[in-house]
Amino acid sequence: MKKVGFTTTIPVEVIIAGNCLPVDLNNIFITSKNPYTYIEKAEEDGLPRNTCSWIKGIYAAVMNKSVDEVIGVVEGDCSNTHALMEIFRDNGISVLSFAYPYGEKEKHGFLKQQIENLMLHFDIDWMMLEKTISKIDTIREKLMLLDKLTVEGYVSGLENHLWLVSSTDFNSDYIKFEKELKQFLDEVKKRKRKDAKIRLGFIGVPTIFSDIYQFVEERDCAVVFNEVQRQFSIPYLEYDYIERFVRYTYPYDITYRLTDIKKEIVNREIDGIIHYVQSFCYRQIQDVIFKKELDIPIITIEGNDPESIDARTKIRLESFIEMLIGKKM
């Protein structure tokens, strides 16, 4: 089966309905045995050192022939994707474009056209797509249950992060993914609920650090909200498939993300927010807005390479947690 890589979340059901394997290129990079080799490969080939490590990882994953063709999200995600697609085309790699509407564009009609362009490429119609949607919806329902169990204290923030971030491509095998997810949920039901002193939320792109969740949750904290990972799982089961991607907040103006975050802070009784930002990413600037608009304590943590958190970051996180505990008492 043809492997189709993509640079961020897209309507993955189209790829599956087209009898191809979906591959999130970010996951290929970050789950490899040595992600640094991907970064080294990109820099050896000439990508600037001050380029985001995720972009370098995506580049190397494609150049290592992990996929047969690439769908680049050229609007609604990283602007570096434009140049990346040009490099791939120059190397003879098949490239398609997908875009989310930005600004005041009419979202539903724009997305309908984008999805139908993909459908045309994969030679499927709406009837074929709807059959696949109904299969994948059973997985999305289970992921929504997993997120609910995270809020209730039965699933850790790290587990939540790993399952939701993997739902972008279902590890290229949605049948196996659903089976393993069901087994995990069955196991979770036997656990005792964990009541932590502090309830935290992560906002921003998924962290590149390998151990930040473990560090935080070992200090009597529970991560009960992974903002972007939850959005990646498309937690909306509207009858109208297109409307799900209208409600998906990540690609749009920060206003949509703020509305979602504020609602979840209340629903999940969150005490503090960790805003993770990736080095050399334009989304870092949005930190100014988050700190102005959110009325609970926020700490901003910046990461660059796939590694453990450094001593300075550990001290900052410990101080933040101590402050939250003191505030709560």
pLDDT digits (tens, 9 = 90+) for 89-99: 999 999 999 99
CA 186-8-283 angle, to 5 degrees, is 110
C-alpha distances (whole Å) from 98 to each of 116, 246, 251 are 11, 14, 12
Position 284 scores a pLDDT of 77
Measured in degrees and rounded to the nearest 5, phi and psi for residue 251 equal -80, -5
pLDDT band at 33 (very low <50, low <70, confident <90, very high): confident
Position 283 scores a pLDDT of 78
Position 329 scores a pLDDT of 79
- Of all residues in the chain, the percent with pLDDT exceeding 70 is 100
C-alpha distances (whole Å) from 281 to each of 123, 292, 304, 307, 327 are 35, 20, 10, 18, 32
Domain 3-126 in CATH 1.10.1270.20: no
Q: Say if residue 114's pLDDT is above 90.
A: yes
Position 59 scores a pLDDT of 95
pLDDT digits (tens, 9 = 90+) for 228-246: 999 999 999 988 999 999 9
In contact, 237 and 141? CB cutoff 8 Å: yes
Give the residue from 54, 59, 29, 31 showing the smallest Cα distance to 44: 59
Position 266 scores a pLDDT of 97
pLDDT digits (tens, 9 = 90+) for 173-198: 999 999 999 999 999 999 999 999 99
CA 313-201-163 angle, to 5 degrees, is 100
Position 152 scores a pLDDT of 97
Annotate 270-308 with b (16+ C-beta within 10 A) or e (fewer). bbbbbbbbbebbebeebbeebeeebeeebbbbebeebee
Give the residue from 253, 326, 254, 249 showing the smallest Cα distance to 294: 254
Rounded CA-CA distance 234/255 in Å is 18
Does the global pTM surpass 0.85? yes
Lowest mean pLDDT among 84-88, 142-146, 257-261, 303-307: 303-307
Calculate mean pLDDT across residues 103-109. Answer: 84
C-alpha distances (whole Å) from 310 to each of 158, 284, 313 are 19, 19, 5
Calculate mean pLDDT across residues 275-290. Answer: 85
Calculate mean pLDDT across residues 139-152. Answer: 98
Give the residue from 265, 289, 291 showing the smallest Cα distance to 201: 265
Q: Say if residue 282's pLDDT is above 80.
A: no
Measured in degrees and rounded to the nearest 5, phi and psi for residue 158 equal -65, -45
Amino acid at 289: I
Q: Say if residue 281's pLDDT is above 80.
A: no
Give the residue from 153, 150, 173 showing the smallest Cα distance to 162: 150
Calculate mean pLDDT across residues 214-223. Answer: 96
> Within a 10 A sphere around the Cβ of 46, how many other Cβ atoms?
7
